[in-house]
Every structure is written in C-alpha cells, then in structure tokens.
Chain A
Amino acid sequence: MVWLLLLGISAYAQGDVRLELGFAGEIVADAWNPLRLTLRDGPEAELTMLIDRGNLRDGEQVVRYTARLETQGGLSVFEDDLYIPAWRSFTWSVRTPERVLASGSFDRRSVDPRPLQLVSADRPGEWRSLFGDEARVTEVLASELPERVAAYAGVETLLLDGSASPPRPEAVVAAGAAGAVVVLAEPLPNPFETLVTLSERSQRLGTGWLVREEAEDVSAVLASTPRLDGAALAEALLTPELLELPPGPPPLTLLLILGGYGLLTLLLIRFGGPPGFLASVSLALLVSLAAWSALRPPAATLTRGRSLSLGAGGLAQVHELRSLLQFPAGEVTVPVSAHPLGSGAYSQAPDGVRLAMPRWSRATLLVRPRLEPARLVWRGRNLQNLGDRLLTDVYVLGLGRQASLPPDGTLEMSAGTHNDLPRVYDALLPLLPSGSALASENGRIHVALPEYDPRLAGP
C-alpha cells in the first residue's frame, strides 16, 4: 500500500492522463528510458516533450519528442522508449488542438546518469545493503516491467526474490539481453516456475546474465558477474572511415583538365570558324555532363551504417550506428528511432528522428537497441553460423584469426594470427571478454560472447 502511494508520487497523474518515465519515476540520464502514457476516455491528443540539453557555452539545445496518441474510448496506453540526455530543463504536455490535458516538468536536480538496480520484492529494503551506498536502488512492480530491450539500457541489475508477483518471462529476457544481471533469489515459489525453466544456474543471455542463486549468495554473484558496457561498444563502431568525405579529383588533375579544355576550346573557336564554334559548344556540353557524373555525390545525404550484434544464449542485442554526411543544408529525417551522438538540437518521434544539418556536415546516430536471434553462437568449443550468409574475418579473443564461416557451417577452433584485423575490431576488442568470437558480414559485426559461469571466472 505504502509502495503504491510512493509510486503515485513518482509518476505524474493529472485527471485522466498518467505519464510514467523511467522505472518508478527514476530516469537514467544519457540512456534510453521506458515511457508509458495512459489516457482514460480522452480524445486524440499529442504528447510533446521538450528537453533542453544545452549549456552555458552552446546555449539552448532543445530535443523535441512528439507522439500522436490514438484513442478509441476507454483506456489507451502508449508505450515507447526515449533517449533522455542530461537536461537543463525538461517539460512535457499532452494536448489536443483545443486544450492542454496535462503537463509537467522534471527537476534539473534529478539528473542522474547512474544505472538502476531494480528490486522486485515485498520487502525491498532487505536487499538494499547488497548494493553500494552510491547505488540507485529502485523498487519496481514486476507486473509493470516493460518487454522492450531498449527500456533496460540504464538498468544494471534486476533482482527478484519470489516474494512479489512474478514478471512476464518476456520482460526478464529483455532485461537480461539488454545487459542487466537478472538475479532470481532462491527459493522461489511455484508462480516463478516458468522463469526457473528459462535459466540454468547461471547463463549469459544476450549481453546480460540470468542467474539463479540462493538468497545468501546473491551478494557474491552481483560482485563477480562481469558486465559489458553496451553504450561504449556501440560508440566503438564509429571509426574514421564512416565519416570520410567522398574524395574529389586532386588539384593537379583538375588543372590539367581545365588547361586542356580551355586550350582546345580556344583553338576550335580561333581556327575552326562556325564549325569550330559549334564543336566548342558541343564539347562544353559533353564535358559538363562528364563533370556532373564524376563529381556529383550520389545523394544529398550519404548514409553509412554499421551494426553490432552481441549475442549469447540464442539471443542477440543489436546496436546500430548510422553516419550521415549532409551536402546541402537542410532537415534530414531518418526513419528509425535513434539519437545523435554529441550535442545539438533534434526532434524525435516513435518512428524517426529529424535533424537540421548545415551544409557539408556530419552526424552520427545511435539507433535504439533491438533484440534478434543470435546468428553466431558457441556450440561447446565450436562456432556455428546460424545465418544464411558467409561470415568473414572470424576472430576469437585469446585464440586469434579463424577461417571464414559459411552459412549453417560449424568451425572448430584453432590458434591463429592476430594480424590484419578490420579496423573496427581494434576498438571493440578491449571492451569484450576473453573468449568472445567476432565475425563480419556486410557492415554488421557479430559477436558470440562466451557463455561461462561468472562464479568460476571471477570478477
């Protein structure tokens, strides 16, 4: 009852509109956060969030999020994941063309980038001491946990002790795959049977872990389980070649072309008479066409992309990075839910992001993480390609380079060289645990994480 009262304070409910951002009102700055808006018997409305992430030096930099709320009478629920940068001011409103249904703001002092330690238990205070003094321990209702992997980007731990109602298995899988350590503290009652069958004692799932442990040993597990820095891995995808401008002709080549063209034109006009003049005009048109096709970039916006699929336990979390090169100044709309790296204003919506870009500028977008079946998996000491495309540049951290992996093929491990690796591997390898396997396929890098027991491996 007290818990419900607390939840009522951390969420924002005005009349028939209720907005919940983050977990139990706890927002993780500079991370994706779950958003849930409930509208009861309301008309069609629009949710607008204005986040000013500027600073004294750069001034105001507003991130605008808008979402159309379709209602059909009764209770309407809108859910999404929203990347929330550290803010100077943060306001929201739900409005129809005629009136504001609800509005509110988040205090600047509540900006906190620390990850969350979620606890779902009847007496969550008992678990508080497991985490450090600086940890953000947040109590959650298991039944309200989202089932989207991006929602858990700011979550480090999800602890379930069986005293409260069990969450849906999809929510547990999403949390684990997103990189959180999901701890099921035993003994667990019967309603948790589905979750128990999900996991062995301890297994890697996506980029996180699903661990079943006796209540008294949970502390040791939390301390020893290695965690991956998903955000750093995603940013490591950005290598200089993604931002390179298309090369133009060097000045010397240009000089030779210009000199040749000018000389030929003048000779034709001076000595060719009317046919020479006609020929020089034709030559001008031909050279113009050739110059256009040789020098014109293929599009006003060049998009290059690279993605990283981090998998274990059959599931993979996919981080995707898109690099935009904009030639003429203008607004660029990218039809994916993403956020740009670095500073600057932009607009976000559930189905896309819009940026105002100056001419000849670059922007890098990090797409919202998503879940997919893993394509590169460990089968004992062998690697298996479950996809239908050839995987090249196979490399195992600790063993070295391996042979390419054909579709549906299996590869036995052997010691290999550590030379001539793709440039992007150099940035990724320091962030991955020993025993990780990497492979490339058309701009996508697949990583099969080692599925060992963290208690055996140590911290």
Chain B
Amino acid sequence: MTRAWNITADLTGLFKATAERMRAPDLLQALVGYLALLSFVLMVSWPTTAERVNNAWYALTQANILALSLAGLSFGSSVSERSSRTRLTTLLALLGGAVLSLPLEVGAYAAAFPSVPLGWPLALLALDTVALFGLGMGLGGILTVARLRFLLPLIVPLLLLGMFAFDIWIGVPLLNPFTAVIALTPLHLLSTLPLITLALVLLTRAPSPERTPT
C-alpha cells in the first residue's frame, strides 16, 4: 500500500516537474514555434477547393517529425550534463509537445486518408523523439569531454542532414525519419531501437560534477 502510494506520489511529482519544465522559457518558445510551424504547413498544404486532392497530412507529418527530431537532438545535447531529473522532464515535455500536435496530425490524417495506419506516424513521432533525444545526449556528452560543446548548434543540424544523406546513399529509409513516417518502414523502427536503449541508459546516468557546465 505504502509502495503504491509512493509510486503515485513519484508520478505526480514527475508530472508537476514536467509541467513546470514546459513553462520554462526555452521550451515554451520552442512550443510556440512548433505549433506555429505546423499550423503554417497545414494551412499552405490544405486544398483550397473540393476538387483538389488532400495531401496535407504528408506535408504536416514530415514537418512534425522533422521538428521533433531537431528538438530531440537539440534539447538532448543541451541537457546532457544536467541532472537526470531535468533530462527526464525535458524529454517528457518534448513528448507532451508532440501530444499537443495531435489535433493537427489526426485532423490532417483523417481528411487525407492515407494508406498507412494512424498508429504508425503517432508511434514514430514518439519513438524518434526519444531516440534522437538519446542521440543528442550522447552527442552532448562526447562534445563535453572533447570540450567542443560550442559546436553543438552546428553539429546538431549537420547530424540530421547526415542521416538523410546516409539513407539517400544506401537507398533505404533506415535512419531518416522524414521518409519513414509516411510509409510503413520496419527497418527504420529497428534502427531506432539502439538509440532508444541509449536514451534510457543515459537518462539514468548521473552527471559527474566536474563535467557539469557552468
């Protein structure tokens, strides 16, 4: 009974911390930009007449996963040396942001009626966010050790571009979430599993005090 009570209290605490993290200026600004970006993409891709084919979901979901991937990498690398609680709440806040995009995602999906099941893009949005957050944390840790954290704003987008380029080079949507989200791609799911494992490992790792950035 006490144990169940403790778990409930922990979860409530985590929820409160996540809500507070979402109110933090960096995440709130990112959320404003994220919702504005998705709304803009949906507006420009929405058919203006009933005669036009509704392809809005394809543009929206690709923009969505691109934004979440970039956010996962950026926030993962930026909080890599913070406390595990901060890392966890940041990740949950990102996933919370993804949940807030659901009406746009579901609405566009419903109207466009693509052949891929709805569960696929929704699962991929969450899984890729976690996977790239883990990759970001790993990247942040490496750059901290190498004392090259100042390169993060350059390396994060380059890493994402590198993933796209790699997939184009091998001709299979393996790493690139941009392509994988619009068609069932089990291979991509396989490639995210190691990164999700990395994320779970790094989330529980305590940062060494001497490496904590000032």
Instruction: Report A's interface with B, CB cutoff 8 A.
Output: 244-248, 250-251, 254-255, 258-259, 261-262, 265-266, 269-270, 273-274, 276-278, 280-281, 284-285, 287-288, 291-292, 294-297, 300, 327-330, 359-360
Contacts and interface: CB of A to CB of B under 8 A. Distances in A.
Nearest to A254: B46
Question: For the side of the interface on B, what is the size category?
Answer: 35 or more
A45 to B, nearest CB: 36
Interface of B: 15-16, 18-20, 22-23, 28, 31-32, 35-36, 39, 42-43, 46-48, 50-51, 53-54, 96, 99-107, 110-111, 113-115
A300 B113 contact: yes
Contacts of B103: 261, 284, 287-288, 291
30 contacts: A246-B50, A247-B50, A248-B111, A254-B42, A254-B43, A261-B103, A262-B35, A266-B28, A266-B35, A269-B19, A269-B28, A269-B31, A274-B16, A274-B19, A278-B19, A281-B96, A281-B99, A288-B102, A288-B107, A291-B103, A291-B106, A292-B106, A292-B107, A295-B111, A296-B111, A297-B113, A328-B114, A359-B114, A360-B54, A360-B113
A296 B102 contact: no
A273 B19 contact: yes
| 8 closest cross-chain pairs (CB), A and B | A291-B107, A327-B113, A328-B115, A277-B19, A287-B103, A296-B110, A274-B19, A295-B111
Contacts of A273: 19-20, 23
Contacts of A329: 115
A269 B36 CA distance: 16
Given A262-B39, A288-B106, 16 more contacts: A244-B50, A251-B46, A255-B39, A265-B100, A266-B32, A269-B19, A273-B20, A274-B19, A277-B96, A278-B19, A284-B102, A285-B99, A287-B103, A291-B107, A292-B106, A327-B113
A327 B106 CA distance: 16
Contacts of A292: 106-107, 110
B70 to A, nearest CB: 19
Contacts of B43: 251, 254-255, 258
A277 B28 contact: no
A216 B47 CA distance: 67
A331 to B, nearest CB: 11
A173 to B, nearest CB: 45
A436 to B, nearest CB: 34
Contacts of B104: 258
A269 B23 contact: yes
Nearest to B93: A277
Contacts of B51: 245
